[in-house]
Amino acid sequence: MSAGGVRENGHAERTAVYVYGIVTADVEPEPHARGIGDPPAGVAIVRHGDIAALISEVPRDRPLGTPDDLTAHARLLDGTAAVAPVLPLRFGGVVSDSDAVDNDLLAPNYDEFRTALTELEGRAQFVIRGRYAEDAILREVLDENADAERLRTEIRDKPEDATRDARIALGEIVNQAIEAKRAQDTRRVVAALGEVDATVRERQPTHEEDAAHLAVLIDLSREDALERALTDLGEEWDGRVRLTLLGPMAPYDFVTAREPTG
């Protein structure tokens, strides 16, 4: 019986099929691999020629998109990306059964998916984030901007209500200065990756003190070189910017499989 199919007694199955991503057909889910759900569902695979889809069963009436779902979705895809090329569905998709996965997702997009997987062979995404040390970046802005230093002196030890305009003006100067530094420091990170041969995508900052936020696609054989480059830059920025590296992960910022329908 296919997932989400019909029971032998003729009653409609109460499950559908959740699709995580597209992989090469030689991928075999680990026996301990788990997907979304409570308890987490086992992971299966639907093959079509040289490509396949990672799937699991879900109750048809179950709401999707909880934080636990997103964590499980990413965990499965990121674990796969460490050992095999994968085209992620960013938040997954649901179809009626495994036949629909084959006929409505894999077959119509076969050439596109196979080409993309070939291009991703041996590669994975990493995310680089730099976060300014609050005291250090504020001191830097004040040292470089006389107006900011003047406003800081003006509001020091005075009631907030009495210095509202000055505080707003100082905040605007600081924010603009950090935006300019973020652009400059992002370019510095990209330059530091020159020998890593990375494909780079800039991400939007998620915090006002972000110094850089980048997704990079590299050959997994260059992971050590990536770590060395960031270690060297981290030493240069010691006490000013804290760099973190996440990955390997699925290449969400570079390629995603189109959502299934049906």
Answer whether residue 259 is part of any domain: no
Closest listed residue to residue 255, CA positions, set 104, 54, 114, 100: 114
Q: Give the count of domains, the chain.
A: 2
Give the sign of the dihedral formed by CA 225, CA 227, CA 230, CA 234: negative
Closest listed residue to residue 87, CA positions, set 110, 67, 65: 110
117 within 8 A of 23, measured Cβ to Cβ: yes
Question: Do 161 and 69 belong to one domain?
Answer: no
Question: Do 219 and 153 belong to one domain?
Answer: yes
pTM of the model: 0.84
pLDDT of residue 8: 42
CATH code of the domain covering residue 201:
3.30.70
pLDDT under 70: residue ranges of the chain: 1-13, 92, 258-262
251 within 8 A of 123, measured Cβ to Cβ: yes
Question: Do 136 and 88 belong to one domain?
Answer: no
Answer whether residue 44 is part of any domain: yes
Give the sign of the dihedral formed by CA 244, CA 250, CA 256, CA 259: negative
Supply the range of the domain harboring residue 243: 125-249
The residue from 62, 97, 121 where one domain ends is 121
pLDDT of residue 13: 67
3-state secondary structure of 213: strand
pLDDT of residue 261: 63
